[in-house]
Amino acid sequence: MRIGVDYYPEQCDESCWAEDIALMRAAEISVVRMAEFAWSRLEPAEGSYEFSWLDRILDKLHAVGIQAVLGTPTATPPAWLHARFPEIFPADKRQYRLGFGTREQRCLNNPDMRAHGRRIVEALARHYAKHPAVIGWQTDNELAANLCYCPICADKFRTWLKDKYGFLEAVNAAWGTAFWSQEYSDWSHIPLPWEAKCGDHHNPSLQLEFRRFQSQSTVEFQQEQIDIIRKHAPNHFITHNLMGTHSSMDYYELARNLDFVSWDNYPINPWSEDPFGSPLAADVMRGIKQRNVWVMEQQNGITGWNTLGRRPTGEWLRCAAWQTVAHGADTVVFFRWRTAAHGTEQYWHGVLNHDGKPRRRFREVAAFGWEMRVLSDPLDGTEVRSDVAILNAYDQHYAFEIQPQAEGLSVWRQVGLHYTALKKCGLNVDVIPPNAELGRYRLLIAPSWYILSEGDAARLTEYVRQGGTLILNARTGVKDCVNACRTQPLPTLLGEMAGIEVDDYDPLGKAECTVRISDGREYTVAAWADALTLNGASAIAHYTRGVFAGEPAITCHEFGLGCVYYFGTFGEAGLYDALLGRILDEASIGPRMNLPEGVDANWREKDGARFLILCNFNPEERTVAVPGALLPLLGEAPHEGSVVLPAYGVGVYEAVGVEEVRKGTGPGASDSDAHAEGLTAASARAHS
């Protein structure tokens, strides 16, 4: 367990480096990320490499024991490259070329961009393969789908389709191009989904395939860099900084050949203020490879380019950093070290202000560094293990973004409804792809599995048949894998397992209606309503208002050794609290907690030992009832089964309750007390 910073020595005078490094050591910084935006300094002219400045700073870092992750600098092609190859600039939907002056101003399919990208990566990998400070690489920066509509992309897209379908007749049949007389008689006739008379309302099958192609273009671009680094620096790890719940591309494919996932966490910024932090994003990132992660950019203060966000308190920043650890981060790297004096991100604040003085944010980072160092011994090697999982596939996001259908039906919103209710119970939750090992989970949630393949249907059916509990949502099984509507009764391939048939539906949008669950309580629902016919399932909620009043809204069906719940509508938070409580009971999932609003809980474990991390994102203290006996490693000791968390407080505890006694684990209280005393002293020194 350790902390780091994102460092840009090329953006400040070299005379600052010695002071920077001394302050880093004082703040327990043990790793830096560098060079991901430094192409113009590393290659100031074509084929002329200048690595001496990076050599010098790496040597200085190594001398004091600080390690480095180097970024490949391809997110910011230099001006000389664009001047020589202007076709590198990406084209928008109207085929207008974008210009120079920001980052990511490149088409990832352009052969000149690819060739020069390979050359700079190879030169760096060769040069730094054996430098003792370098431990790994970050490819590019925050990769997204290749959003370009240039002639090169159009030609490559048609070739990609030809390789996939083989014959134009297959494309015409799969996409149903008889609609609007769009049948193709030559591959060159296939358009990109650029601006047209009807805006961007192209054939949904064309749009879905283009989204897949855009994603695959980015995957191929990164793979070239991975292959080069593996060849020349085989002892270094390779990662990439993903963006949480970003959905422009397939993160599972992007991460397939990485050693582990890293991600960037900015909970409070000018575009979004989320005082509860980013637990869902953290679990999505951990689920990409189903293993622990790094946070490569952790918010450190005020963020903003032209408009600034609020200044989080130091206690909040510490709480947010600990939350990422609770959800599976082993290393937390703060963005950035020095606040930039120039350029677009002058107000995206770092550990040090523009004046470079170690002020309050420095002290806050130092205190967190002390805590991470002292808790490394018990927490190193721990991982997050869950009995509950939510399925995720990026095709589902693409399809809902192409045809949103009704307001409030985004995939992440649906995930959030279930996720929030589960987290109120203090449960770990995994977010996983459908090809993951499903049998390890007692409860599986599929939020509107809109694009339903035969393979996914078979896996879900077998999961339930073998004893799993599955929750399906409305708009499941609507489309096949080319985004054409299936013609069986909804939920199509899963109808027999679910024991229901969708007789009709109403896209409610902002309109509301109500449902009553079996215990008589009523809840508001919105966005969508399915009218359900029971084919073996039992109704556990009925509509009480709206066009389907009196008809089943939510059902339960036993199938094989397992059980399927079908939620035909989307409700307020209380509905999910009530129904998921029942479902968790029936699936024997626990131990559970009843967390106050704004308190996050997650468990990490190893070798039979379990550690609970509590984070209070409220500006007032909260009392949390906790399961079993807990020994404090950080924070106040439990009293009579409860823990008091101060405002923005954090507690880290080792469990020695019933489950741990059964496993024969759990250290003595004296060991834990000594550990806690050491941490308290360390934190006090850091704050002073």
Residue 413 has pLDDT above 60, yes or no: yes
pLDDT in tens, 576-631: 999 999 999 999 998 999 999 999 999 999 999 999 999 999 999 999 999 989 99
The per-residue pLDDT for 169 is 98
The per-residue pLDDT for 312 is 87
The structure tokens 């005379």 sit at 15
Q: What is the rounded CA–CA span in Å between residue 687 and residue 675? A: 19
Judge whether 563 and 550 are in contact, CB under 8 Å: no
Q: Kindly give, in sequence order, each residue whose CB lies less than 8 Å from that of residue 523, ignoring residues fewer than 6 positions away.
A: 514, 515, 516, 517, 571, 572, 574, 575, 578
Q: What are phi and psi of 258, to 5 degrees?
A: -85, 155
Candidate CATH numbers 2.60.40.1180, 2.60.40.10, 3.50.30.50, 3.30.70.20; the one for domain 599-687:
2.60.40.1180
Contacts 24+ apart (CB under 8 A), 153-160: 153/91, 153/107, 153/109, 153/192, 153/217, 154/191, 154/192, 156/109, 156/213, 156/217, 157/190, 157/192, 157/210, 157/213, 158/187, 158/188, 158/190, 160/213, 160/216
The per-residue pLDDT for 674 is 36
Which helix (H) or strand (E) segment holds residue 544: the answer is strand 538-545
Q: What are phi and psi of 622, to 5 degrees?
A: -135, 145
pLDDT in tens, 301-343: 999 999 998 888 899 999 999 999 999 999 999 999 999 999 9
pLDDT in tens, 212-241: 999 999 999 999 999 999 999 999 999 999
Give all strands (DSSP E) within 607-649, no chain letters: 609-616, 622-625, 630-634, 642-645
The per-residue pLDDT for 447 is 95
**What percent of the chain lies above the pLDDT cut of 90?**
89
Q: What is the rounded CA–CA span in Å between residue 553 and residue 405? A: 19
Nearest residue to 317 (alpha-carbon basis) of 624, 678, 637, 650: 650
pTM (predicted TM-score): 0.94
Which CATH topology does 388-586 take? Rossmann fold (3.40.50)
Q: Which CATH superfamily is domain 35-259 in?
A: Glycosidases (3.20.20.80)
pLDDT-derived band at 273, boundaries 50, 70, 90: low
Judge whether 222 and 194 are in contact, CB under 8 Å: no
Residue 290 has pLDDT above 80, yes or no: yes
SS3 214: helix
DSSP-derived secondary structure for 90-132: -B-TT-PBP-SSSS--S-TT-HHHHHHHHHHHHHHHHHHTT-T
First to last CA, the chain: 23
Q: Are strands 522-534 and 569-571 parallel, antiparallel or unpaired?
A: antiparallel
The per-residue pLDDT for 274 is 57
Q: What are phi and psi of 584, to 5 degrees?
A: -65, -40
142 tagged catalytic: yes
Mean pLDDT value of segment 129-155: 98
The structural domains of the chain, with segments of one domain joined by +, span 35-259, 388-586, 599-687
Q: Kindly give, in sequence order, each residue whose CB lies less than 8 Å from that of residue 204, ignoring residues fewer than 6 positions away.
A: 399, 402, 403, 483, 484
Judge whether 287 and 438 are in contact, CB under 8 Å: no
Residue 669 has pLDDT above 70, yes or no: no
Residue 665 has pLDDT above 70, yes or no: no
pLDDT in tens, 535-571: 999 999 999 999 999 999 999 999 999 999 999 999 9
Q: Do domains 35-259 and 599-687 have the same CATH topology?
A: no
Q: Kindly give, in sequence order, each residue whose CB lies less than 8 Å from that of residue 270, ignoring residues fewer than 6 positions away.
A: 303, 304, 305, 307, 308, 309
* 594-600-605 Cα angle (round to 5): 95
Among residues 28, 104, 224, 297, the one annotated as catalytic is: 297
Mean pLDDT value of segment 431-437: 97
pLDDT-derived band at 532, boundaries 50, 70, 90: very high
- Of 66-70, 264-268, 682-686, the range with the lowest mean pLDDT is 682-686
209 tagged catalytic: no
Residue 199 has pLDDT above 90, yes or no: no
Q: What is the rounded CA–CA span in Å between residue 332 and residue 262? A: 10
